[in-house]
Amino acid sequence: MSAPIRISAQKGELAGCEADVGIVYRFRGDEDVCGPLGAPLAKRLSGVARADHFDGDAGRTLLWHAPGREGERCGRYLILGLGPRNELTLDRYRHYIGEACIQADRLGAASVAIPLLEAGAAPLGSREAGVALAEGVLLGTYRFERYRSQPEAGRRHLRSVTVAAGSVALREVESAIGLGEVCASATNFARDLVNEPAGVMTPERMAAIARDVGAETRIAVRVIEPDELRSMGMGGILGVGQGSRNPPRLIQLNYAPDEGARKKVAFLGKGLTFDSGGLSLKSAEGMETMKCDMAGSAAVLGAMRALPELNPPVEVVGLMGMAENMPDGGAIRPGDVLKIMNGKTVEVRNTDAEGRLVLADLLSYAGSMDGVESMIDLATLTGACMVALGPLASGVMGNDQVLVDDILRAADRAGEKMWPLPLYREYREHLKSEIADVKNTAIRYGGAITAGLFLQEFVRPGLPWAHIDIAGPSFGDKDYSYIRRGASGAGVRTLIHYSLNIE
Ligand code: BES
Ligand code: MN
Ligand code: ZN
């Protein structure tokens, strides 16, 4: 992890900001560039855009070297196309900002100045725009470099970003940037955990990191070790972890606001530090990126680490089910039966359908806690969800439409792609076992849904629950502007926005 980029706000127009690269906006269909720039600079850059027939196509950029004759304070200006004004969304803005910063960084710029997109100049509120700007900068320039012995060509130069506040009060801009920084650093924290190799990021190591988070914030942390898991009856997490030299851990986090909690919710995360498939071994290709299988638990830890700073009026219990799924003489076998904490038994038909076994214990445990009013689990659960929604979107399922809608709304605010999937009751029969209460596999089709139905077996009836399958977006092999390849921190910002907007 490289040092974070410093983002600060400055009164007035872009013309007053000194930086290596100044960024200005151009909407498609407008005559001129826009933003609080200062008239002479606006005129100059509008002329440059016109001369180059740059018409503001979305995401396109035009670089202009300032001759310095007219007192330009930036050495270069990057004109950034925002597309047609009425088509700009918050997430598109985040994308373009991320892209522009990546480009400025590639140009070797250490400092960048950007005007705040003002309300009135765009369909976005200036607060939301300030949040998205900070997120675009910090998410787009994230790199995971700790294992490179040589600084790479793509090394980061960018150190600071100045936001020209224009007509918006400095305090407001600073507070918006602050929220964007908290959300982005929580996301980047989760990305670091997921990008770390599985040989390093064992259940025990995750527990140590969670304890550090507890020491730095007012989040209470409890780590439950195998002996205690046994006495609690957590046969799922123990069974999945029994083939590994790195024994499982259940990590419990508790956040409470200063005062006035309106609700108590639980966030649960699948934390498979590596998923080889177990005895139902994956193919070589299938396990190449399976260090990402703890992304759900990383999202829970990342989001909860941000809560004390934001102080949302909700009590949150976090549960991270950490285990490593390995083939071994001591591993669970296909055909073995495990007993979950709530007393239900599962016939393990495929040891690679392990995440649901761990989550079954977490759901039972959260459901047994005093006062928990709803629970949300996040898991890299099925390849089927990736087949359904592709590499950028998570599937959302649940037993409570209000909760599912709240999550979809939070995801929308956060700029994360989430899409509902149904839990058709008819498919439950595919989970019937000959010898136990349920089995952990179903038929070939509808795998994301049958996995959701399996989880539902362990939800206390009447308790609102939602499941977010993040198998697609948690880890990528391709850059999508500010969403870079490698770990994405999927789910972190949705959980934060959900907490902030709870009724
Ligand atoms: N961790 C995998 C799912 C996964 C696949 C996550 C690709 C991210 C990218 C999960 O444990 C798994 O192996 N699921 C199986 C379930 C099947 C055996 C019923 C799957 O999806 O194939
Ligand atoms: Mn698996
Ligand atoms: Zn898995």
Interval 86-123: pLDDT, tens:
999 999 999 999 999 999 999 999 999 999 987 666 77
What's residue 154's pLDDT? 59
What is the residue with the minimal CA distance to atom 9 of ligand 1?
A: 471
What's residue 58's pLDDT? 93
Distance 386 CA to ligand 3 centre (A): 13
As a whole number of angstroms, the distance between CA 68 and CA 70 comes to 6
Is residue 471 within 6 Å of ligand 1 at its C-beta?
Answer: yes
Q: How many CB atoms lie within 10 A of CB 448?
A: 23
List 467's β-bridge partners, or say none: 377, 397
As a whole number of angstroms, the distance between CA 46 and CA 41 comes to 8
Is residue 383 within 6 Å of ligand 1 at its C-beta?
Answer: yes
pTM, 2 dp: 0.96
Distance 406 CA to ligand 1 centre (A): 27
Distance 358 CA to ligand 3 centre (A): 10
Is residue 441 within 6 Å of ligand 1 at its C-beta?
Answer: yes
Contact (CB, 8 A) for 312 and 261? no
The SS3 assignment for 104 reads helix
Ligand with smallest separation from the Cα of 273: 3
Q: Which of 333, 208, 314 is nearest to 264 (CA)?
A: 314
What is the residue with the minimal CA distance to atom 18 of ligand 1?
A: 353
297 to 135, 198, 220, 306, 415: CA distances (angstroms): 22, 14, 16, 15, 20
As a whole number of angstroms, the distance between CA 93 and CA 53 comes to 22
Say which of 43, 76, 222, 282 is annotated catalytic: 282
Distance 345 CA to ligand 3 centre (A): 20
Distance 283 CA to ligand 3 centre (A): 13
Alpha carbon dihedral 439, 442, 448, 451, in 10-degree steps, equals -10
Is residue 380 within 6 Å of ligand 1 at its C-beta?
Answer: yes
Strand pairing class (465-469; 394-398): antiparallel
As a whole number of angstroms, the distance between CA 422 and CA 453 comes to 10
Pocket residue to mutate for ligand 1, from 285, 382, 427, most atoms within 8 A of Cβ: 382
Ligand with smallest separation from the Cα of 277: 2
Contact (CB, 8 A) for 299 and 495? yes
Pocket residue to mutate for ligand 1, from 289, 326, 381, most atoms within 8 A of Cβ: 381
As a whole number of angstroms, the distance between CA 230 and CA 236 comes to 10
Average pLDDT, consecutive stretches of 10 residues, N- to C-terminus, the chain (503 residues):
85 95 95 90 95 94 90 94 93 93 94 87 84 95 90 77 95 96 98 98 98 98 98 98 98 95 97 98 98 99 98 98 98 98 98 98 98 98 98 98 98 96 98 98 98 98 98 92 89 98 85
**DSSP H or E stretch at residue 224:** strand 220-224
Contact (CB, 8 A) for 395 and 448? yes
As a whole number of angstroms, the distance between CA 145 and CA 6 comes to 19
What is the residue with the minimal CA distance to atom 22 of ligand 1?
A: 383
As a whole number of angstroms, the distance between CA 481 and CA 400 comes to 34
The 10 Å CB-count burial string (b at 16+, else e) for 189-204 is bbbbbbbbebeebbbb
Alpha carbon dihedral 134, 135, 138, 140, in 10-degree steps, equals -130
pLDDT digits (tens, 9 = 90+) for 4-41: 899 999 999 999 999 999 999 999 999 999 989 998 99
As a whole number of angstroms, the distance between CA 203 and CA 221 comes to 15
* Catalytic-residue membership of 76: no
Ligand with smallest separation from the Cα of 276: 2
* Catalytic-residue membership of 264: no
As a whole number of angstroms, the distance between CA 205 and CA 223 comes to 11
Is residue 382 within 6 Å of ligand 1 at its C-beta?
Answer: yes
Is residue 293 within 6 Å of ligand 1 at its C-beta?
Answer: yes
Token readout for 128 is: 């939301």
Is residue 353 within 6 Å of ligand 1 at its C-beta?
Answer: yes
| Ligand 1 atom showing the smallest separation from residue 354 Cα | 11
Distance 303 CA to ligand 1 centre (A): 24
Distance 345 CA to ligand 2 centre (A): 19
Is residue 394 within 6 Å of ligand 1 at its C-beta?
Answer: no
As a whole number of angstroms, the distance between CA 51 and CA 493 comes to 41
The SS3 assignment for 249 reads strand
Say which of 143, 356, 413, 439 is annotated catalytic: 356
List 166's β-bridge partners, or say none: 12
Q: φ, ψ for residue 474 (rounded to 5)?
A: -65, -30
The half-sphere exposure of 458 on its side-chain side, counting CA atoms within 13 A, is 31
Is residue 268 within 6 Å of ligand 1 at its C-beta?
Answer: no
